[in-house]
Structure 1
Amino acid sequence: MDVLVRVSEATGVPADLLGGYLSALTASIATGRLPDRSEVDALKACGTLAAERGIPLRALTDACLLVAEQLSDGAAVAGQENGAVLGAVLGAVRRSLAAFADGYEEAHLTAITREGEARREFVDDLLQGRADARQAEHFGLRLAEAYAVTVVRTDEPLPPDAHVIRRIEQALVSRFGSHNILVAGRDGMLVCAAPASLAAATGEFTHHVRSSVAAWRAGVGRPHHGPGGIVTSYREAVGAIELGDRLGLRAQVLKAADLLVFPVLLRDRGAIVDLVGTVLGPLAEARGGPEPLLSTLEAVFASQGNHTAAARRLGLSTRAVTYRLERVRRLTGFSPADPTQRFTLETAVLGARLLEWPDRPLV
């Protein structure tokens, strides 16, 4: 017992974690046998306890070696042959340290798993408005601030524990600090919540996404305060991606603030249905249907009225674009060349994309 007291004082490792080890080592010196299964299991359990108590593995290893050193010296004084003592000690120490390390590692893996599960539960709570301030602070968020959420959708859904998520989070934490950024996976997408005061965070996040993922599209919500604000920003970010798909927008990063007109349009569905039917309905009479003419209008609007640039977008000649626009004017009575009519046409085309016309009937 004096050995354990001396070793504990020297290394800071509690004596109760070393009692089974001392017994196994003493038996090995006396008999020459290695620790058996029951002794190994007991040592593994002590390794788990050491990890749970926060004792460094290095200190535990140092304590084991110090016990072995003192027992070896005592055996030599007692007259046992040095070779026999050394062989017994080394074998027992090797097996014992392996058992301690297994238990220690198992405890850490369990802790990591629990933390991951707690993190996923928190993210679910946060994005449904159920998280509280204490939960949020544990995971690095101060909900009194305004936060903006960026959502990235990839071609292949990402699992919550994907390596790319951890790598991007580490890169952002190293720059902005652990109490500013939350990066997580949800519903197969990558989510980043950052304070509005960190204006560079969204750009840094998408920069790392661009270098890590082949095909992706991002939506950026507006900054909002509090737990409910994060939910709102998250929904705006997801909505921006969905609007981008429906409108056929090319940009990889879509900001909800730039798309505010579309939710306004959708709030009065009857009005937008009437607008699309009245302005664009006659295009259904065109040879080949309305889609080629709609695509031409979109390209012209995206090119600020430049027919040559629109033709490049469409892979057509400038003459073909001019011809199609004339067809639009003849069928609808509206021309993109007229400022007032251009606004009406552009709004109607956006409305058509929102309503998925002509693939779906206007109802």
Structure 2
Amino acid sequence: MTSASEPPAWLADGVAALLAGPAGGDGAGRALGARAADAGLPLPELVERVLRASADHWRAGAGPDGEAAAALLDTTRALLAGVLDGYTGQNRAELRRYDHDRTAFVNDLLTGRADPGALAERAGRYGIRLSATHVVLIARAPGLTPQVVHRVDAALAARFGEGNTLTTPRGGDLVCISAGGLRGIAAELAHLLLGELGADGWQIAVGRAHPGLPGLARSLEEARGALDHAARLGFTTAVLHAADLLVFPVLLRDRDAITDLVDTVLGPLVSARGGARPYLDTLTVLFDNQGNYTATARQLHLSVRAVTYRLDRIQALTGYHPGEPTQRFTLHAAVLGARLLGWPA
């Protein structure tokens, strides 16, 4: 193996040729830097080797006079600038290719449209076994740039190990595929987003763990559905678990039935003075506060007496009262259905 003190022959020869020619080498320095990037030379080592090759060239006959030394130094500066430009440009191009390939792989993985055999071969590059159990997490935030996703991906890989997580942008969201049973992944992702984006404006949804290739698509849909339902219901919890929100797909599975429930139970509120909205808001806040009148009044900026009055009016108009155990579930289901449907608008 070539040591750091002995530049490889192609680098030493390239530097010598460029130093002997015009300053900058007409782009040859960039080509040399790109080759160094492809060879995997770390940047500090590349700089050290260019300078050492320049010193060797000097010893070989550049001469001791000051004019020759200044000329060599100028040429070396131009050469080094070109080499570094080529090196960083090649790394950027490689990163873009890697990002494109990985994004295409994740899209094929989650849609299931690619040939399973070819997909399994590509999955091996990322440490994913298609027969294993995986969980899909989606983070949604307006400030999710590719740079943020790169940093989050690197941090998750460092925390949980290469091959246990795969993070990429998809449709404006951050999508993370994690090995099933990986503990703490949602909390770590939340911690990273907090550091990158601050405390507000982002939300994470976690699908359930499912095995095999179809399980990935299913976990993705569960996570996406959790985010969509949270947006419609006004849930602001930072981390949502699809397993905790299974009632909402059930409610929406029979849209006619939930529409009939909402119209039957809450429909009479439309005729109230001021419309249904104040009463619907009161019920929503009441259920969010587990039936606590004081907390509901505080959140609505009302007195407890005003909250009680509204609930009594709801009972008078609809026949349902949240204080009645046999009616509470029906009323709550109707309120959730109304929020999902955007009722009464």
Common fold by TM > 0.5 = yes
Deviation at 1:64, TM superposition (A): 4.5
Aligned to 1:254: 240
Deviation at 1:223, TM superposition (A): 1.1
Kept in 2: contact 1:298–1:349 (CA 8 A): yes
- CA 1:243–1:59 in structure 2 vs 1: closer, same or farther (change >3 Å)? closer
Aligned to 1:333: 319
Amino acid at match of 1:158: L
- CA 1:323–1:87 in structure 2 vs 1: closer, same or farther (change >3 Å)? closer
Matched, 1:354 2:337: no
Which is higher, the Rg of structure 1 or of structure 2?
1
Alignment of 1:149-164 (within 5 A): 149-154=136-141, 156=142, 158-159=144-145, 161=146, 163-164=147-148
Q: Which runs of 4+ in 1 moved over 4 A?
A: 7-10, 55-71, 80-85
Aligned to 2:309: 323
- CA 1:205–1:67 in structure 2 vs 1: closer, same or farther (change >3 Å)? closer
Deviation at 1:201, TM superposition (A): 0.8
TM-score using structure 2 length:
0.86
Separation in 2, partners of 1:108, 1:201: 29
Aligned to 1:181: 165
Kept in 1: contact 2:18–2:28 (CA 8 A): no
Kept in 1: contact 2:5–2:52 (CA 8 A): no
Aligned to 2:278: 292
Kept in 2: contact 1:35–1:96 (CA 8 A): no
Aligned to 1:137: 124
Structure 1 window deviating more from structure 2 (270-279 vs 117-126): it is 117-126
Aligned to 1:14: 9
Please tell me the root mean square deviation across aligned C-alpha atoms, in Å.
2.8
Deviation at 1:55, TM superposition (A): 4.4
Structure 1 window deviating more from structure 2 (312-321 vs 207-216): it is 207-216
TM-score using structure 1 length:
0.82
SS at 1:292 equivalent = helix
Alignment gaps of 5+ in structure 1 = 1-6, 28-33
Kept in 2: contact 1:13–1:59 (CA 8 A): no
Amino acid at match of 2:159: R
- 2:76 maps to which of 89, 93, 97: 93
Kept in 1: contact 2:282–2:296 (CA 8 A): yes
- CA 1:47–1:354 in structure 2 vs 1: closer, same or farther (change >3 Å)? closer
Separation in 2, partners of 1:94, 1:206: 45
Matched, 1:217 2:212: no
Aligned to 2:85: 102
- 1:236 maps to which of 222, 238, 244: 222
SS at 1:228 equivalent = helix
Separation in 2, partners of 1:9, 1:297: 72
Kept in 1: contact 2:167–2:177 (CA 8 A): yes
Separation in 2, partners of 1:248, 1:83: 74
SS at 1:345 equivalent = helix
Alignment of 1:48-63 (within 5 A): 48-56=34-42, 61=47
Kept in 2: contact 1:157–1:189 (CA 8 A): no
Kept in 2: contact 1:168–1:205 (CA 8 A): yes
Deviation at 1:112, TM superposition (A): 1.6
Separation in 2, partners of 1:327, 1:146: 51
Deviation at 1:256, TM superposition (A): 1.2
Structure 1 window deviating more from structure 2 (201-210 vs 127-136): it is 127-136
Separation in 2, partners of 1:260, 1:140: 31
Kept in 1: contact 2:6–2:49 (CA 8 A): yes
Amino acid at match of 1:144: S
- CA 1:261–1:53 in structure 2 vs 1: closer, same or farther (change >3 Å)? same
Kept in 2: contact 1:182–1:192 (CA 8 A): yes
Amino acid at match of 1:201: I
Give per-residue Cα distances to partners, 1:306-344, cap 9 Å, x unaligned.
Answer: 222221222211111111111111111122222111111
Matched, 1:206 2:190: yes
Alignment gaps of 5+ in structure 2 = none
Amino acid at match of 2:257: A
SS at 2:75 equivalent = helix
Kept in 1: contact 2:18–2:29 (CA 8 A): no
Identity of aligned residues (%): 45
Separation in 2, partners of 1:253, 1:22: 58
SS at 2:111 equivalent = coil
Kept in 2: contact 1:8–1:63 (CA 8 A): no
- CA 1:9–1:148 in structure 2 vs 1: closer, same or farther (change >3 Å)? closer
SS at 2:61 equivalent = helix
Amino acid at match of 1:337: G
SS at 2:195 equivalent = helix
Give per-residue Cα distances to partners, 1:142-180, cap 9 Å, x unaligned.
Answer: 3332222222222x2534x1x332232233222111211
Separation in 2, partners of 1:69, 1:325: 88
